[in-house]
Structure 1
Amino acid sequence: MKRRTGAAALAAVAMSLTACGATITLPAIPTASVAATSSPTSSAGAAPSSATPSAAATSTDGSMRQGLPDEVVDRLTLSRVFLEVAEVKGLHYRISGRVVAVGNTSDSVLTTVTDAADESIPRIEALSGQHAKDKYLILAAADDSTAQKWTGDSNVADADGITMPYGKAAWIVIPTGHRFSDGGRVLDDDEYFTHVMDHEVFHADTLPVDFDDPSVPEWMVEGYAEWAANQEVSTGPEKEPPARLPSDTEVVDDTDDGYFRAGMFVQYLADRFGTSKALAYYRAMLVATHGSIAEEFHRATDADFTATVAAWQRQFHQQFVSFDPEWQWVSD
């Protein structure tokens, strides 16, 4: 659920992989088909790829022994992750009305991931006001090493999900094999996994292509996603955290419940100014030519940012005690 840096660009080569005991030759992918764009619209809503696909499979799910269906090739290519996925053995895929899911996991895990995304996508798109015309790509990694390969991030063990807005379309990586201190996986708890999926789909639905803007604070990127995820399944700590906006470090390391505090501030903005103005502020900050945090906030809400933060801090205790999370964790 943390912001990640980009994966390596694709090369225009033909690849082959061995999966489920059969060798599958993948088509050459022209470099032009994966060139990044600078559009500030939803990174998941990209134009279809011009890559030549392999032979289509006859079913909407199965092992890679059938060959990669057109839709899988298209989504992988758009998302600049084609080679990273092709190098992993034992892949399976599943295709639904809104999702292309690929992973080196079991069919049952892919089904769980796909079903959760199918429920999440319309909910988040209705909230954001954006609708991706193409399907969302979700990669289900059976282990942390696979998740690291697909994200280029060495800290995947600290994340329940990672969204990569790089290429012409974002992709979501769920490290389904990662086990936490209690031995459970993120998929083992339906409510918490719903929250995680909503959080990641919001990122995929709203982050611009190749987004990596250090002037946009981490509390905004993660706080809006947490706010969106809290609409269906709210999560929160047992102990009240400090009443202050978290620093970038506190969000990245999730110290003092940084994600939660960021989400509570966004909830305050939505309650005070309305969802449309809160989202207008968020969208304005994601545009490459945005002004300062204070300027864009005043433009969207006609209010002072510093005064608004102070007002939120004064009411934070009441906001916390009235918050009734459906999934709660024990604070450190």
Structure 2
Amino acid sequence: MIPVRRRTAVRLLALALCPLPAAGCADPAPSEPADGAVRRAVAGWSAAPPARLAGIPLEGWSYEVTSVRRDGVRAFARAELRYRLAGYDGAPAGSAREVELTRDGTAWRITADRPAPGAVAQLWDHGAVTAVRGAHCLVLGAGPSRRALSALAAEADRAVPAVNAAWPGPWARRVVVLAPGTLEAMAALLGRPAGTYRGLGAVTTGSTGDGPAPADRVVVNPEGYEGLSEAGRRIVLTHEVTHVATRAATSARTPQWLSEGFADWAAYRGTPTAPADGAPELARAVRRGELPAALPADGDFAFGGDPQAAARAYGGAWLACRLIADRWGGAALVRLYELAGRGPLPAALAEALGVDLPGLTAAWQEALRQELR
């Protein structure tokens, strides 16, 4: 078993990113570990004033250097970045970073700071970040104009009260929205191929389950979002903010049809959207006589799959939650969501609605026949 290398926590007094300062450190004394000078150089560099993130409410910023690799006149320090957005994050966010240094005479100087191999990028890796505050949101953009970011903040400010009306459970009631400049930059933030998100307006990141959710962000796809109508943008953002709000009540037990359907129900709630207009792909299938045999399976919602099948799944999930709210009430739908995240779905259905899964499926199929014919 390889012994765990002693980890040295480097507490940053302030953020420093490109342009990188010429911070350095002389070679260690003979009694100092071989990588000590590299670690001290990272510490000295990290104390420089921020350059690209001015105006962002950062707190608790730190790099924890976990390993150092030297290659002649170059060195590479692996570090864990941790930080909070003050007033928004209940737990630290961050990612793995690689700090590159070059030996200059007797000193080590930082020449690059980037995502560690295999780690996701941060927004500022793609350029200077502009921050726009709304009444209920913080929008951070790297690429879009301030005007575009202000419009996005206004839309997020409308989404949060809409979500509050649908989800009475506890949540922060504010949201962080990231606006990268390109689809490729968005994909780098999420660690997946760009094609995965082509055509989508936005996605939400974050962990599920009890407790504070680190890195809970709505990430906008600049290509997909730009192509939406005003009503479409409102629906997309409200859907994604709903995922932020319900995060603590969502677990691996929660079926995707309930998670995605509830988010769509919250987004369409109060709008005049007819079932056939909100679920056009499913409506076409039902009119062809292709009535779904069961509620959508989790795999039907996978990114990068058949877009028409995914559209039918989302439409079916929305109409299932719409049916529950119309027949049993919005409070019963919320209760079902809470129970389904904590225990088996059959027990949750019995307690919240007094129905079993076959009974709910039959009622849903009948609603599809009536509403989509």
1:152 deviation in Å? 2.1
Q: Give distance in 2, aligned partners of 1:143 and 1:310.
A: 44
- Within 5 Å, give how 1:1-332 maps onto structure 2: 14=12, 16-18=16-18, 64=52, 66-70=54-58, 73-74=85-86, 75=88, 78=91, 80-81=93-94, 84-104=122-142, 105-130=144-169, 132-133=171-172, 135-154=174-193, 155-166=196-207, 167-168=213-214, 170-176=216-222, 178-179=223-224, 185-186=225-226, 188-208=228-248, 213=252, 215-233=253-271, 234=273, 235-237=278-280, 239-242=283-286, 243-244=291-292, 245-252=295-302, 253=305, 254-256=307-309, 257-287=312-342, 290=343, 292-321=344-373
CA-to-aligned-CA distance 1:71-126 (integer Å, 9 cap, x gap): 88334684624772342312111112211110112112211210001011011112
CA contact (8 A) 1:124 1:228 kept: yes
CA contact (8 A) 2:204 2:216 kept: yes
TM-score (norm 1): 0.69
The letter for the 2-side match of 1:260 is: G
Q: Give distance in 1, aligned partners of 2:165 and 2:248.
A: 18
Q: Are the structure 2 counterparts of residues 93 and 115 from structure 1 closer, same or farther at C-alpha, using a change threshold of 3 Å?
A: same
Q: Give distance in 2, aligned partners of 1:207 and 1:141.
A: 23
CA-to-aligned-CA distance 1:297-329 (integer Å, 9 cap, x gap): 1011112221121122123121225xxxxxxxx
Q: Are the structure 2 counterparts of residues 23 and 118 from structure 1 closer, same or farther at C-alpha, using a change threshold of 3 Å?
A: farther
CA contact (8 A) 2:205 2:216 kept: yes
Residue range with higher mean Cα deviation, 257-266 or 307-316: 307-316
Identity of aligned residues (%): 19
Instruction: State the Cα RMSD in Å.
Output: 3.2
The letter for the 1-side match of 2:280 is: P
Residue range with higher mean Cα deviation, 67-76 or 89-98: 67-76
Q: Are the structure 2 counterparts of residues 151 and 138 from structure 1 closer, same or farther at C-alpha, using a change threshold of 3 Å?
A: same
CA contact (8 A) 1:92 1:107 kept: yes
1:163 deviation in Å? 0.8
CA contact (8 A) 2:53 2:124 kept: no
When the two structures are aligned, how many residues end up with a matched partner?
Answer: 264
CA-to-aligned-CA distance 1:246-300 (integer Å, 9 cap, x gap): 222322245342101110011011111111011101111123xx1x211111011
Where do 4+ consecutive residues of structure 1 move more than 4 Å?
A: 11-15
1:13 deviation in Å? 6.6
The letter for the 1-side match of 2:219 is: V
CA-to-aligned-CA distance 1:188-216 (integer Å, 9 cap, x gap): 5101000101100110011228x661x43
Q: Are the structure 2 counterparts of residues 216 and 188 from structure 1 closer, same or farther at C-alpha, using a change threshold of 3 Å?
A: closer
TM-score (norm 2): 0.62
Q: Give distance in 2, aligned partners of 1:132 and 1:92.
A: 26
1:168 deviation in Å? 3.2
Task: Answer 1 or 2: higher relative contact order, Cα 8 Å, separation at least 6.
Answer: 1
Q: Are the structure 2 counterparts of residues 212 and 23 from structure 1 closer, same or farther at C-alpha, using a change threshold of 3 Å?
A: farther
Residue 94 of structure 1: SS of its match in structure 2?
Answer: strand
The letter for the 1-side match of 2:301 is: V
Q: Are the structure 2 counterparts of residues 13 and 103 from structure 1 closer, same or farther at C-alpha, using a change threshold of 3 Å?
A: farther
1:232 deviation in Å? 4.2
Residue 93 of structure 1: SS of its match in structure 2?
Answer: strand
Residue 284 of structure 2: SS of its match in structure 1?
Answer: coil
Q: Are the structure 2 counterparts of residues 307 and 68 from structure 1 closer, same or farther at C-alpha, using a change threshold of 3 Å?
A: closer
CA-to-aligned-CA distance 1:153-194 (integer Å, 9 cap, x gap): 322224221111234362110112x25xxxxx4465101000
1:67 deviation in Å? 4.3
Q: Are the structure 2 counterparts of residues 305 and 188 from structure 1 closer, same or farther at C-alpha, using a change threshold of 3 Å?
A: closer
CA contact (8 A) 1:297 1:305 kept: yes
Residue 159 of structure 1: SS of its match in structure 2?
Answer: coil
Structure 1 residues not aligned, in runs of 5+:
1-10, 25-53, 57-62, 180-184, 322-332
Q: Are the structure 2 counterparts of residues 81 and 95 from structure 1 closer, same or farther at C-alpha, using a change threshold of 3 Å?
A: farther
